[in-house]
Amino acid sequence: MTAPTVHKPPDAREKPKRGGLLHQRDFRLLWLGETTNRVGINITTVAMPLVALVTLDAGTFAVSVLAAAPWIPWLLIGLPAGAWVDRMRRRPLMLACNIGSLLLLASVPVAAWLGVLTMTQMLTVALLNGLAAVFFGISYKVYVPSIVEREHLQEANAKLQGSESVAQVAGLGGGGLLAGAFGAASGLLVNALTFLFSALCLSGIRAEEPRPEKPEERTPLRQDIREGLQYTLKDPYLRVLTGYGTVTNLLLTAYQAILPVFMIRQLMVTEGAVGWLLASSSVGGLLGATCAKRLADRYGTAHGLLLATMATAPFGLLIPLAGQGWMLASLAAGSALLALGVVLANVIQGAFRQRYCPPQLLGRVTASVSVANFGAIPFGSLLGGALGTALGLRPTLWLLTAGLAVTPLILLIGPMRGRRDLPAAPDPSGGRDLPAEPRAS
């Protein structure tokens, strides 16, 4: 007679063993799946513009439109997507997104090999792949607290941000190498396989998610969206952080949209080297993810966030100083230091939102913040292309990086400047904030 199988309750989560969360099986699989997904996305970041530039001979503005396309779905369906994610199981949704991206991206090299690839297909693939990224991006951020205990969220976010930076190095650098060795379109075929691996990792997670609400218990979708928006806009911390992220993303993506054109057509960088230069920012991102916890422990989450952004943003002015030969180091250093500050801020903000927001609102708040932050990206890409065409590439880079140097001042508008640490939860009475979020030991 066999012993009965014992099932964990739906909210049971593995305690991380000594050595951190990577010893926890479910988190390790999520980490591997999300990291591989990011490798694929970063291969796309290099390969799609290179296909447009080299294979289809696209102009500066056309390349910026292609860079904007994956982010347009955030504007179109980002808010309802957050409400839908709050009503659905996240892991099956992420699996569906990975399979969809696999099929879409595989269609580009197939069309190129057959000689029928067009800019219309490229834009369509970018848009639909962006649609999948909306649901995947919201889902995995909301899914993390389902498999990680509250006190380990900062460690989880630091590891996910750190692996994202490693994925940038692997994806951007590997995308450039693949483009140089096999052609840009072939890089997208490898990209498609990364989404398959990500799907396999996610399928192995054992933790059960809480069941979504029954249909008769659900409020109307419009009311759900309104609640998420109101919560985000009325909260003094979320409002200021969202404003800062939106302006920063607008300027970051504006310069990033024209950077490949600047490198190939003005600095005479080869296709293979473009990826490695773009990947230089990931070195700073990896350092930021590694140092985020120590920065927050020493200076506090609020003061650490201000320090991280204000000390690094001005170094973006090194980017337009770049020239041929050894002067390319200026571009690499500026990109790395900008990324250092951005990732430090992302780790601190990510853990703050996951602790601070009520669980039943987390998907909608995440979507509201993401729509503002990511919705600025297509406008930034188009802004970069328009300014680059009208003013020239280098003057546009000077203008945009000067704007980035002063964006951290937005964070001084709210109550953050008067606190050492960000609060653990909003005060329901509307008075003083609740105690600061506990710092990990």
> Which domain covers residue 116, as residue numbers?
21-207+223-418
**Confidence category of residue 166, pLDDT binned at 50, 70, 90:** low
Asked if the model's pLDDT at residue 439 lies above 50, the reply is no
* Residue 46 near residue 171 (C-beta atoms within 8 A): yes
Residue 145 lies in a domain: yes
**Confidence category of residue 307, pLDDT binned at 50, 70, 90:** very high
pLDDT at 167: 64
* Structure token digits, residue 312: 């690094």
How many domains are there within the chain? 1
CB-count burial class (<10 Å; 0-12, 13-18, 19+) for 234: exposed
Residue 6 lies in a domain: no
Residue 273 lies in a domain: yes
Element (H, E) at 363: helix 362-391
Residue 11 lies in a domain: no
Helix (H, G, I), strand (E, B) or coil at 348: helix
Closest of 348, 329, 216 to residue 288, by C-alpha? 348
Residue 8 lies in a domain: no
Residue 426 lies in a domain: no
Residue 215 lies in a domain: no
Asked if the model's pLDDT at residue 23 lies above 60, the reply is yes
Angle at CA 171, nearest 5°, toward 286 and 51?
140
- Residues 94-137: pLDDT tens digits? 899 999 999 998 898 888 888 888 889 999 999 999 899 889 88
* Residue 235 near residue 55 (C-beta atoms within 8 A): no
Contacts of residue 273, defined as CB under 8 A and 6 or more positions apart, other chains included, come to 176, 263
* R_g over Cα of the chain: 21
- Residues 70-98: pLDDT tens digits? 888 888 888 888 778 877 788 889 899 99
**Confidence category of residue 427, pLDDT binned at 50, 70, 90:** low
The amino acid present at 25, given as its one-letter code, is R
CA distances for 365 relative to 51, 91, 239, 360, angstroms: 36, 19, 11, 10
* Residue 362 near residue 153 (C-beta atoms within 8 A): no
Contacts of residue 63, defined as CB under 8 A and 6 or more positions apart, other chains included, come to 49, 52, 53, 257, 258, 260, 261, 385
- The chain-wide mean pLDDT, for the chain, equals 79
72-87 and 119-147 helices cross at what angle (nearest 10)?
30
For 377-402, letters b (16+ CB in 10 Å) and e give bbbbbbbbbbbbbeeebbebbbbbbe
Residue 382 lies in a domain: yes
pLDDT at 7: 40
* Residue 74 near residue 370 (C-beta atoms within 8 A): yes
**What percentage of the chain has pLDDT greater than the value 70?**
81
Global pTM value: 0.69
266: DSSP letter: I
Question: Cβ of 198: how many Cβ atoms within 10 Å?
Answer: 28
Asked if the model's pLDDT at residue 14 lies above 60, the reply is no
CA distance 255 to 319: 10
What CATH number is associated with residue 31?
1.20.1250.20
* Structure token digits, residue 354: 């996951």
